[in-house]
């Protein structure tokens, strides 16, 4: 008997049953998983150079005295920036003097440019030139006018803030007033004049100041070419 061949038939028409939702009632389906966006990280910057005065400091550490990075004017509670010390300065003055004794009066005016040098922040010295004009008058006599030219040296010491001591010594080729039986007359001689006193300084700007100085004239006599006391208005200008 011949063997029996059985054929296996595959059913291609069978349908797939839908899968029912077996989750408990009222439970929403879980949302699909998503990947979180990357967090922005700023790129580190290289350290900047120290901020120069007057230049905005956007990358500098916060300074309560310079909130905008600029050097601002002085404010309450904030110390003013210290001015740099300049060694050399021009120092000129205009002097006035007047004295009167027993009917004899003297009026004097002087101008004296000088160059100063600061040995320290408080102490300064320097040489200068001087010119003095005098007008003498006495009762019953004609007034006499004289002109004198000299050289000098001065020294200053700041005592407190704007107050200072001032001293100088001047050697002058002077026209002085002498008297005789016939009255007063002019005479030429060399005179040494020491002056000392105190003054007050008012700063006008970073490099300029104005002084008022009151000096005692230790040469108070016929050789006097400045009167007593000597009041001077000085101007100071710092050089570079």
DSSP string, 13-61: TPPPPPPP--SPTTPPPPPPP-PPPPPP-PPPPPPPPPPPTTS--TTSP
pLDDT in 10s for each residue of the chain, 240 residues: 445 444 444 444 455 555 555 555 655 566 666 666 666 666 666 555 555 555 554 555 656 656 555 555 556 666 666 656 789 999 988 888 777 766 678 788 889 999 999 999 999 999 999 998 988 887 666 788 889 999 999 999 999 989 999 999 999 998 877 776 666 777 888 888 899 999 999 998 888 999 999 999 888 766 777 777 888 889 999 987
Is beta strand 183-203 parallel, antiparallel or unpaired with respect to 230-238? unpaired
All structural domains of the chain, each given as residue ranges with its CATH number in brackets, are: 88-238 (2.40.160.20)
Q: Where are the alpha helices (DSSP H) in 48-149?
A: none
């Amino acid at each position: 008997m011949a063997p029996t061949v059985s054929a296996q038939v595959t059913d291609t028409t069978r349908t797939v049953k839908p899968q029912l939702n077996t989750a408990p009632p009222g439970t929403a389906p879980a949302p699909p998983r998503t990947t979180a966006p990357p967090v922005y990280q700023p790129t580190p910057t290289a350290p900047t150079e120290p901020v120069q005065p007057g230049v905005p400091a956007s990358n500098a550490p916060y300074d309560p005295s310079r909130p905008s990075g600029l050097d601002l004017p002085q404010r309450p509670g904030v110390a003013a920036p210290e001015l740099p010390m300049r060694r050399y300065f021009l120092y000129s003055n205009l002097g006035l003097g007047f004295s009167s004794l027993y009917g004899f009066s003297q009026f004097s005016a002087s101008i004296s440019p000088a160059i100063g040098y600061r040995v320290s922040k408080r102490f300064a010295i320097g040489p200068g030139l001087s010119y003095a004009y005098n007008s003498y008058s006495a009762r019953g006599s004609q007034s006499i006018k004289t002109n004198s030219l000299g050289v000098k040296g001065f020294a200053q010491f700041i005592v407190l803030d704007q107050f200072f001591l001032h001293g100088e010594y001047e050697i002058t080729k002077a026209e002085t007033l002498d008297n005789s039986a016939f009255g007063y007359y002019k005479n030429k001689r060399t005179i040494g004049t020491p002056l000392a006193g105190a003054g007050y300084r008012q700063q006008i700007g970073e490099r300029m100041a104005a002084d008022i100085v009151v000096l005692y004239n230790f040469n108070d006599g016929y050789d006097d070419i400045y009167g007593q006391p000597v009041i001077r208005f000085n101007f100071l200008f710092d050089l570079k």
